[in-house]
């Protein structure tokens, strides 16, 4: 299924822009999470356990080590294979989460279809982002070792650091764009850059918000079992949906008006729906 653009003459762009505000993104995300809480907890447990076991078993069996001249070194080919397998399972789980939050569907049968179809592009996106962030860290460390007493070193480190933050902000959109539109590989990167620049400081704010949540989850590891992976990726999916809506782009072949009615219904839900959901349906 491919996304379609639907114009609505009754809705000015300013009205659509309101849906991409942080409070509206958070509200839509919360109610969709609440409506599918049981499935999402199971999906997160599955995502966490598969990634943990895939990484733990080879390390436990010393499959990542290759002896060289009497010393043990990490085997780069084993690490690459581990990355591909981890990425493959993560793509499957992420696609399930995307369908829950953007299509309101909870069919586990889509796991393997998503994993097989989107795996090559997902691996490429993750590998490029890992390489870029690694180079950013290396260069910032390089200028730090040179000493920040010279303003040139501080300037270069600052520019490279901001580029790293920009890339991390754009990466938040890349996997959701892949599932939402399945465009050619480099168009995913291009569109993620455009969304990051169009959102301005909002992209940095979202990155800081998710970074703060990551630190909080790390302090309370039990949250990774029940919320972690699903929490972060589901927020990315809803965020992309709202930003695409600014350009009157929605997922699927349905008209825009029913989708807006759904968003309007989410904005009108309150504490009564949370405490007594059976009375509000």
Determine the pLDDT at residue 246. 86
Please state the rounded mean pLDDT for residues 178-207.
Answer: 91
Determine the pLDDT at residue 61. 63
pLDDT reading at 4 higher than 80: no
Are 172 and 239 within 8 A, CB to CB? Answer: yes
pLDDT digits (tens, 9 = 90+) for 71-117: 566 666 777 788 888 888 999 999 999 999 988 777 788 898 899 99
Q: Residue 152 — very low, low, confident or very high, per pLDDT cuts 50/70/90?
A: confident
Please state the rounded mean pLDDT for residues 9-18.
Answer: 61
- When mean pLDDT is compared across 3-17, 48-62, 195-209, the lowest value belongs to 3-17
63-72, 81-90, 185-194, range with greatest mean pLDDT: 185-194
Please state the rounded mean pLDDT for residues 182-196.
Answer: 94
Closest CA to 230 of 102, 114, 111, 96: 96
CA–CA dist 22, 206 (Å, integer): 8
Please state the rounded mean pLDDT for residues 227-242.
Answer: 93
pLDDT reading at 277 higher than 90: no
Percent of the chain clearing pLDDT 70 (strictly above): 84
pLDDT reading at 169 higher than 50: yes
Burial of residue 100 (number of CB atoms within 10 Å: 0-12, 13-18, 19+): buried
The two beta strands, 249-250 and 4-5, are: antiparallel
Please state the rounded mean pLDDT for residues 125-144.
Answer: 89
Q: Would you kindly state where each structural domain of the chain is located, as residue ranges?
A: 29-268
- When mean pLDDT is compared across 24-28, 73-77, 133-137, 185-189, the lowest value belongs to 73-77
6-15, 22-31, 51-60, 246-255, range with greatest mean pLDDT: 22-31
CA–CA dist 173, 188 (Å, integer): 9
Please state the rounded mean pLDDT for residues 25-42.
Answer: 91
Of residues 167 and 150, the one with the higher pLDDT is 167
Determine the pLDDT at residue 108. 82
The two beta strands, 249-250 and 71-74, are: unpaired
């Amino acid at each position: 299924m491919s996304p379609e653009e639907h114009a609505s003459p009754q809705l000015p762009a300013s009205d659509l822009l309101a849906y991409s505000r942080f409070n509206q993104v958070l509200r839509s995300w919360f109610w969709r999470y609440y409506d599918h809480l049981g499935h999402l907890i199971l999906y997160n447990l599955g995502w966490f356990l598969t990634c943990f076991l895939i990484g733990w078993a080879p390390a436990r069996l010393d499959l990542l080590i290759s002896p060289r001249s009497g010393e043990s070194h990490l085997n780069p080919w084993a690490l690459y294979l581990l990355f591909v397998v981890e990425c493959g399972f993560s793509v499957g789980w992420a696609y399930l989460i995307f369908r829950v939050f953007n299509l309101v569907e909870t069919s586990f049968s889509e796991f393997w279809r998503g994993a097989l179809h989107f795996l090559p592009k997902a691996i490429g996106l993750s590998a490029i982002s890992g390489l870029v962030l690694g180079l950013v860290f290396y260069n910032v460390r390089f200028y730090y070792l040179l000493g920040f007493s010279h303003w040139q070193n501080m300037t270069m480190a600052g520019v490279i650091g901001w580029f790293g933050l920009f890339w991390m902000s754009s990466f938040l959109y890349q996997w959701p764009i892949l599932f939402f539109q399945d465009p050619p590989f480099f168009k995913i990167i291009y569109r993620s850059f455009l969304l990051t620049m169009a959102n301005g400081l909002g992209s940095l704010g979202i990155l800081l918000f998710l970074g703060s949540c990551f630190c909080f989850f790390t302090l309370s590891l039990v949250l990774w079992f029940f919320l972690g992976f699903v929490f972060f990726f589901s927020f990315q999916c809803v965020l992309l949906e709202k930003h695409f809506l600014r350009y009157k782009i929605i997922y699927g072949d349905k008209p825009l008006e029913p989708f807006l009615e759904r968003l309007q219904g989410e904005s009108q839900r309150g504490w009564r729906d949370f405490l007594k959901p059976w009375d509000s349906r």
